[in-house]
Amino acid sequence: MRTGIFLSYADGFREAADQVVELERVGVDIALVAEAYSYDAISQLGYLAAKTSRIELGSGVVPIYSRTPSLLAMTAAGLDYVSDGRFRLGIGTSGPQVVEGFHGVPFDAPLGRTREVVEICRQVWRRENVNFDGKHYQVPLPSDRGTGLGKSLHLINHPVRERIPITIASLGPKNVELTAEIAEGWQPVFFYPEKADAAFGDALRAGFAKRDPELGPLDVMVSATLAIGDDVEDRLAWAKPQLALYIGGMGARGKNFYHALATRYGFGDVADRIQDLYLAGQKAEAINAVPDELVRNVSLIGPRGFVKERLDAFAEAGVTTLLVHPLATEAREQVRYVEELVALAK
């Protein structure tokens, strides 16, 4: 199993770069930078490319709504160039909270747009003239919508690779099926190994049935909070605010992907309570309502032997890359946790 680090999008660039340089030294395979409504991920990834030499770098993820497909492709090709072929493009729909609330763009047709974005990106990387007449994107713009002077163009530069790996963050059954069909990687969040097949199995199998063999095996890239030791039980509480935020506050009732996932895991009543409290402004109570059982099973928090057991469970569930968020008091402790994880994952 590969190991990776998931960098906080709210921290400073220089501090994050120093951390990644150190983690590269101890053998971490990949570093991902998320993008929500802080600084953009691309600036940080370019900075990391200049500071590192071996570790793979990726966006984890950038929303498809905030950039045109061609710009996503150009950006990925540029990052792949400055990193000497070490970049992978992680994309996702995000959600109405960010797409409409921050970017001011309608959150519509997530499945159709994701498929078309992937097709256009791969066309750009092959340096083909971009001719795409999709339902959601038309390149070049048809004459009845533009000046009539539209002409198909291809990328001027020669990309390092004509096939940059694409990872899709997806949770809903149809989106997971699409990911298994068209992407090189899948990035689910809050992954519960023992309940993963019940939550995702049918969708993955449906997607695999339509998958092009040239894509190779799907890289299942799962994120988890991390703390290793005999005295880290208190870190379970540290992981609860994020779960409460996502289950309770990242979307309206009936439109929250994370609430739906917790429900598929069998925590429907708990998810409803967390959402009720969070949407009522009772955030502390919502955090306290997150059960230890859920945190423990989607995380790597506990003594070394317990963490090894959980690693085996993740591997048994098909995870190929583990992306961690160390729950540490300072930088040296973060590196120590990750170094121990690298040793356990070998």
Q: Are 38 and 9 in contact (CB under 8 A)?
A: yes
Regions of the chain where pLDDT drops below 50: none
212 Rama class: left (phi>0) / alpha (psi -120 to 50) / beta: beta
Residue 40: the pLDDT is 93
Q: Are 13 and 44 in contact (CB under 8 A)?
A: yes
- The domain spans of the chain are 2-227+300-345, 231-299
The pLDDT of residue 148 is 63
pLDDT at res. 191: 98
Q: Which residues is 32 bridged to in the sheet?
A: 6, 58
pLDDT tens for each residue of 205-217: 999 999 999 999 9
Where are the alpha helices (H) located in the chain, listed in sequence order? 13-25, 41-51, 69-82, 96-99, 110-125, 173-182, 196, 202-208, 235-244, 257-264, 268-279, 283-288, 292-297, 304-316, 331-345
**Would the pTM of this model clear 0.85, i.e. be above it?**
yes
Name the nearest CA neighbour of 4 among 313, 322, 220: 322
Task: Report the candidate in 237, 249, 314, 298 with the shortest Cα–Cα distance to residue 278.
Answer: 249
- What pLDDT does 8 receive? 72
* Amino acid 302: pLDDT: 97
pLDDT at 9: 67
DSSP secondary structure, 143-204, as one string: TTTS-S-------SS--S-SS--EEEE--SHHHHHHHHHH-SEE--SS--GGGHIIIIIHHH
Q: What is the pLDDT of residue 326?
A: 95
CATH number of 2-227+300-345: 3.20.20.30
Provide the pLDDT for residue 315.
Answer: 97
